[in-house]
Structure 1
Amino acid sequence: MGGETERTAAASKNEEKQAQVDIRKGILGFTESAVMKCAVELGIADALENSGGPMSLFELSSSLGCSPPALYRIMRFLVHRGIFSQKSTSQGSTGYVQTPISRLLVRHGENSMAGLVLFLSSPMLLALWQCLSARVLACETSAFEAAHGKGIFQYTATDPAFSKLMDDAMACGARVTVPAIIDGCPEVFEGLGSLVDIGGGNGTTLSIVVKACPWIHGINFDLPHVVSVAPKNDGVEHVGGDMFDSIPNADAAYLMRILHDWGDEECIHILRKCRDAIPRDKGKVIILEAVIEEKETDQLKDLGLMMDMVMMAYTGKGKERTLKEWAYLLNEAGFSRHSVKHIQAVESVIEAYI
């Protein structure tokens, strides 16, 4: 009896100790994104990518022009988390090397996500997390609005630098997600003569699509201040406007990470505008969004729930949705059927038909 009591007391102490560790890890969770931002700003991944082999601490610090002791601590942190790695050189010393994660931090890499790191770790966005409780207490506003006095989309219209930061971040996602569609379910783009990308930013999505599917005429549709600075791409036409008013006609309307910015009422309105823009016989709406599986317990659900908190903070009304919630929106918008396809990305492909 006494032994069982002692074991119970020991287990309780271990649980308490682990709880203290877990809560500190939660509180300090921001450090990983902050140090990753530091790595991008210093150009650590770029230096290693161009080195041709492992780089010693001295070589790396000389290349970057920074303090070896400080860089050592940064690299120790990032190596511990598997973002960079270490490898023995032919001389028997140890040097830093790239990993699949760190290659995504190369500023101009093919699948670079450096822009997303810089955007999500920007002071403008970090500040609004201090106002999340204000969003919960006053559901009519967003944490972004509570922190900065106006909504995120109103703010981007008046701040070109922040607008570009956002567009660069969205382009990062496009460079990963669109090839995943083309590789995983290319039939999504088959038979389309034209495609309008709603909220397409700088046109990265359509530039990838028309390169892989040159028979498609791409229409990059976004707010006038966004498309006015979008680069020219063959096969892509930039059109300025407001998706709440009207959407250019095309065989298919494409919405990638747009609807999660808005509440149900706004989403239904946007989807009805999409329905008006596509032909009734063969038209469709292609939606790229995370789908939260209610019974799912893996990392994708964890990431989806994190993104849901981001939507609550950034836009107020926006949220990530379950299959049941997506079905509700599409039915209310007047679509008769839809299908869901999973790809090698965080997002799934939802195709909706009139």
Structure 2
Amino acid sequence: MATPPPQGLSPEAKLMQVATGYWASQCLAAVIRLDIQDCFKNGPRSIYDIAQEKNCNGDALYRSMRALSNMGIFMECEEDGYFDHSPTTKILENPNGYINALKFETHPSGYKCWSNYFETVKNGGPNAHENFNAKNMWDVIHQDKEFNALFSRAMGTFTKMTTFAILKEVGHEFAKYETVCDVGGSKGVLMNELLKINPNIQKGICFDLPSVVADTKSEDSRFSVVGGSFFDSVPEADCYTIKNVLHDWSDEKCIDILRTIGKSMKQGGKIYIFDSIIKTKNTPSLPSLLDVRK
């Protein structure tokens, strides 16, 4: 028997919250695209003054900020028309932080990928195919320079968030390997950290698409960059890491990726997979949503 959903909102309110979820994300998308999050560094400000600075409509911006503040995103002050950061949004002031992930996830190209999802459910296949004449979302990312740049920055942010946990749990296990390759390694954050704590590693390879690793650098002489597709080939190594990659692909594509790695792996090698896992049923779960985005 299925577990009933947790108590709280009425069935009608819960269903409407999901149905109108894109209203909230569109409000957030507009606000962060204008970089409103950077306007409260010195405390509360009039949203109408900010609207003048940003050359946008004050009434529409006020309504968007009011809607977000009622969800705990920013805070409406007692003085009419004034807003400030809430505990949730203070982190968005860091230009190299979580703001990059939000800008990527709310980008117009991302919304367009989802607009044809009904056909995906009916016929299978990737979300983005019909609207972009693309095979999958990754083709869409590489067609749009702005979307591509946001993707790279967002992946860097996610990597920083997860690298600490990886190092804590298994970081020193890599000392027994001569060559370690991070597949889908983006800007090399994880690989650089692994090299720092494992002086026995002779070579650390950051492998990703050429456009992603084009400007990836390191002060460590053992660090190297290789561009390519993990569907074609990967560099030879005796250990591989693949982090937050497989959840973006179908089971068949995941098998293809792992087979590609297996062909290049030295005898006795090992793959470390770090990714989201759907553990429980009938509970809120971001991994279960990641699983439908292909």
- Evaluate the alpha carbon distance shift between residue 82 and residue 213 of structure 1 in structure 2; reply closer, same or farther with a 3 A threshold: farther
Q: What residue is the counterpart of 2:72 in the other structure?
A: 82
- Evaluate the alpha carbon distance shift between residue 290 and residue 64 of structure 1 in structure 2; reply closer, same or farther with a 3 A threshold: farther
The percent identity for this pair of structures is 26
Task: Please state if 1:55 is matched with 2:23.
Answer: no
Report the number of matched residues. Answer: 279
Tell me the secondary structure at the aligned position of residue 26 of structure 2.
helix
Q: What residue is the counterpart of 2:4 in the other structure?
A: none
Query: Alpha carbon RMSD of aligned pairs, Å?
Result: 3.2
Instruction: Please report the TM-score for the alignment, with normalisation by the length of structure 2.
Output: 0.79
Query: In the TM superposition, what is the alpha-carbon distance from 1:276 to its structure 2 partner?
Result: 3.7
- Evaluate the alpha carbon distance shift between residue 131 and residue 58 of structure 1 in structure 2; reply closer, same or farther with a 3 A threshold: closer
Query: In the TM superposition, what is the alpha-carbon distance from 1:68 to its structure 2 partner?
Result: 5.4
Q: Is residue 194–residue 250 contact of structure 1 (8 Å, CA) maintained in 2? A: yes
Q: What residue is the counterpart of 2:290 in the other structure?
A: 307
- Evaluate the alpha carbon distance shift between residue 38 and residue 207 of structure 1 in structure 2; reply closer, same or farther with a 3 A threshold: farther
- Evaluate the alpha carbon distance shift between residue 20 and residue 296 of structure 1 in structure 2; reply closer, same or farther with a 3 A threshold: closer
Structure 2 unaligned regions, length at least 5: 1-8
Q: What residue is the counterpart of 1:7 in the other structure?
A: none
- Evaluate the alpha carbon distance shift between residue 24 and residue 298 of structure 1 in structure 2; reply closer, same or farther with a 3 A threshold: closer
- Evaluate the alpha carbon distance shift between residue 63 and residue 159 of structure 1 in structure 2; reply closer, same or farther with a 3 A threshold: closer
Separation (CA, whole Å) in 1 of partners of 2:234 and 2:228:
8
Partner AA of 1:275 in structure 2: G
Query: In the TM superposition, what is the alpha-carbon distance from 1:287 to its structure 2 partner?
Result: 0.9
Instruction: Please report the TM-score for the alignment, with normalisation by the length of structure 1.
Output: 0.67
The structure with the larger Rg is 1
Q: What residue is the counterpart of 1:33 in the other structure?
A: 25
Separation (CA, whole Å) in 1 of partners of 2:273 and 2:204:
16
Tell me the secondary structure at the aligned position of residue 230 of structure 2.
coil
Tell me the secondary structure at the aligned position of residue 237 of structure 1.
strand
Q: Is residue 45–residue 98 contact of structure 1 (8 Å, CA) maintained in 2? A: no
Tell me the secondary structure at the aligned position of residue 185 of structure 2.
coil
Q: Is residue 107–residue 115 contact of structure 1 (8 Å, CA) maintained in 2? A: no
Structure 1 unaligned regions, length at least 5: 1-16, 316-354
Kindly report which structure 2 residues correspond to 1:14-33, keeping only aligned pairs within 5 A, or say none: 18-33=10-25
Query: In the TM superposition, what is the alpha-carbon distance from 1:298 to its structure 2 partner?
Result: 4.0
Query: In the TM superposition, what is the alpha-carbon distance from 1:83 to its structure 2 partner?
Result: 2.5
Separation (CA, whole Å) in 2 of partners of 1:268 and 1:129:
25
Separation (CA, whole Å) in 1 of partners of 2:231 and 2:184:
11
- Evaluate the alpha carbon distance shift between residue 298 and residue 234 of structure 1 in structure 2; reply closer, same or farther with a 3 A threshold: farther
